[in-house]
Amino acid sequence: MLSQNKKFFDEFKLIHDKFALDQDRCQNEYNEIGSKALLIIKDWEDRLCKQSEKAGYSTFTGGLAEKFQAEIRRNFAMIDWIGVLNKSSEKDFVLKKLL
């Protein structure tokens, strides 16, 4: 995954490291680039788990997915912060009432 998307993940790593140092200023940029990273990660996780399910190892698929996510978190510790609203964006957030 990382080698086939090297240019993108190199860029994401730079933004990830900037976000780890200053979350308030980099949150919007991190969310934008991070959403693309999550799509790539999800695609590769699906590929990995679907192959193990097809091979008859469906009981191990959950553990395999957890190990894959743990490896992602080892490389990108702040990956779970993608999509989190920061203080400056909270004032713009409006939840419409359903009638």
Domain ranges for the chain: 6-80
Phi, psi of 4 (to 5 degrees): -80, -20
pLDDT of res. 60: 81
pLDDT of res. 75: 92
Half-sphere exposure of 71 (CA within 13 A, CB side): 11
Phi, psi of 17 (to 5 degrees): -70, -40
pLDDT of res. 95: 65
pLDDT of res. 72: 94
pLDDT of res. 38: 95
Neighbours of 9 (CB within 10 A): 19
Q: What is the pLDDT along the chain (99 residues), one digit of tens a residue?
A: 889 999 999 999 999 999 999 888 888 899 999 999 999 999 999 988 887 777 777 778 888 889 999 999 999 999 998 987 766 555 566 666 766
pLDDT of res. 94: 66
